[in-house]
């Protein structure tokens, strides 16, 4: 009985100094911020303006089809529909360029009548064009990323030939590559 009272008093004193209930909106008191959010907490998305190359890998793995890509003549737009996302983080994990982050920001509630009023996170990357037919092809950043990746992985003996071929091929769309491969005088792929 007595021990219970001591325990209760201790609990009360602790609560008076450092209350269990957190403030909303988060406010700082004498002891610092009361609302603590874990660093790994997954919230609103943020695309890295430089690192994201627009490859579209994140749109394929998305658990609920929240990320979509749409191509216009000049740029590819990636858009995350926050009202559909389940914050699983698969898009961040798959991203080969580490161009997507889930920030701990969680205050995303909004007034609105339909899902279209919900927050969207958007990011655009420029698209390249085919030198021969003028069609839009791949994001410029993605082409550079592929070039870098190939150079890292390839057998050094073939480095020069492959780079020479890539120089030519990466300027054209897939159809022009196929139809023009004879005229380009690229290396016949036999040794590598």
192 binds, among another protein, ligand SF4, none (CB under 5 to 8 A by kind): none
Closest by CA position to 107, among listed 35, 58, 30, 49:
35
- The least distance separating another protein from the CB of residue 119, rounded to whole angstroms, comes to 7
- Cβ proximity to ligand SF4: between 139 and 162 the closer is 139
119 binds, among ligand SF4, another protein, none (CB under 5 to 8 A by kind): another protein
- The least distance separating another protein from the CB of residue 63, rounded to whole angstroms, comes to 6
Among 15, 23, 41, 63, binds ligand SF4 (CB under 6 A): 63
Q: Which residues of 181-192 are buried (b: 16+ CB within 10 A; e: fewer)?
A: beeeebeeeeee
Contact positions vs another protein (CB under 8 A): 20-22, 24-26, 35, 41, 63-65, 81-87, 106-115, 117-119
Q: Cα torsion for 59, 60, 65, 68, to the nearest 10°? A: 30
Q: How far is CA 93 from CA 60, 88, 102, 144, in A?
A: 12, 10, 10, 21
Closest by CA position to 170, among listed 137, 192, 148:
137
Among 44, 87, 127, 137, binds ligand SF4 (CB under 6 A): 87
- The least distance separating another protein from the CB of residue 26, rounded to whole angstroms, comes to 8
Peptide bond into 25 cis (omega under 30): yes
Q: Is 124 helix (H, G, I), strand (E, B) or coil?
A: strand
35 binds, among another protein, ligand SF4, none (CB under 5 to 8 A by kind): another protein
Q: Which residues bind ligand SF4 (CB under 6 A)?
A: 47, 52-58, 61-64, 66-67, 78, 80, 85-91, 95, 97, 99-100
């Amino acid at each position: 009985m007595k021990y219970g009272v001591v325990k209760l008093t201790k609990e009360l004193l602790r609560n008076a100094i450092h209350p269990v209930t957190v403030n909303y909106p988060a406010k700082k008191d004498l002891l610092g911020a009361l609302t603590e959010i874990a660093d790994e907490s997954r919230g609103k998305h943020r695309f890295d303006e430089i690192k994201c190359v627009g490859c579209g890998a994140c749109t394929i793995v998305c658990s609920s089809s929240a990320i979509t890509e749409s191509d216009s003549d000049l740029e590819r737009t990636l858009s995350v529909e926050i009202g559909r996302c389940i914050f699983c983080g698969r898009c961040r994990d798959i991203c080969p360029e580490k161009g997507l982050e889930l920030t701990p920001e969680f205050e995303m509630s909004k007034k609105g009548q339909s899902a279209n009023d919900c927050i969207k996170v958007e990011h655009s990357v420029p698209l390249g064009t085919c030198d021969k037919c003028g069609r839009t092809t791949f994001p410029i950043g993605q082409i550079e990323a592929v070039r870098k990746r190939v150079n890292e992985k390839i057998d050094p003996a073939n480095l020069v030939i492959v780079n020479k071929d890539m120089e030519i091929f990466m300027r054209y769309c897939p159809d022009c590559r196929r139809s023009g491969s004879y005229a380009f005088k690229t290396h016949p792929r036999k040794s590598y």
